[in-house]
Amino acid sequence: MIVTFARLARRSLCSTIRSGDPNNLARAKKLEQPEPMWLEAVKAADAKQAKEVRVLDLREITAFADYFVICSGSNSRQIQAIADEIQMRLKKLGEHAHSIEGYQNAEWVLMDYGDYLIHVFSEKARAYYDLERLWRDAKVVAR
């Protein structure tokens, strides 16, 4: 199932019905579920005009990561700006990258956050490595 960013950005609300009420009245209570951290990375990349942002769900395919966030930038400055924005926003939420590779070259910046990996590519490098094809069995969560 493909979901748009706007739909993902809305907070998920679910209602629960409380049972055992002496008056037999059902009361709905809204519970807020926290947004996944990779969604904040998607928002940050989008804020810096990243191109072709994709999120792949790898949970049923591999154990080393749950999600890939893949996006592209037009030039090295934009690629670094996207990586900086993602890092800044996640840091504000208490998430710190285990490692960041390729920042100086800015052809392919890889940010490892444990459960999810963020790939910021140049258009040329993205076409060459073609992670979407390599991980084609993964579910596309967002595009």
79, 120 in Cβ contact below 8 A?
yes
d(CA 40, CA 78): 18
Report whether pLDDT(24) > 60.
no
Q: Is 104 exposed, middle or buried (0-12, 13-18, 19+ CB in 10 A)?
A: exposed
| pTM for this predicted structure | 0.76
**Percent of the chain whose predicted confidence (pLDDT) is above 90:** 73
Tokens describing residue 63: 């154990």
- pLDDT value of residue 117: 96
CA–CA distance, 43 with 39 (Å, rounded to integer): 6
13 has pLDDT over 50: no
CB atoms near residue 84 (< 10 Å): 14
Looking at residue 33, its pLDDT comes to 61
**pLDDT of the residue at 32:** 60
Residue 126 in tokens: 């993205």
Q: What is the mean pLDDT of residues 14-39?
A: 55
Q: Which domains does the chain have, with CATH numbers?
A: 5-142 (3.30.460.10)
CB-based contact 74:123 (threshold 8 Å): yes
Burial class for 14, CB neighbours closer than 10 Å (0-12, 13-18, 19+): exposed
Pairwise pLDDT comparison (140 vs 18), residue with the higher score: 140
Say whether pLDDT at 7 is over 90. no
Looking at this protein, which amino acid is placed at residue 106?
A
65 neighbors 27 (Cβ within 8 angstroms): no
pLDDT tens-digit series, residues 91-129: 999 999 999 999 999 999 999 999 999 999 999 999 999
Q: What is the predicted pLDDT for the residue at 68?
A: 96
Buried b (16+ CB within 10 A) or exposed e, 42-80: bbbbeebebeebbbbbbeeeeeebbbbbbbbbeeeebbb
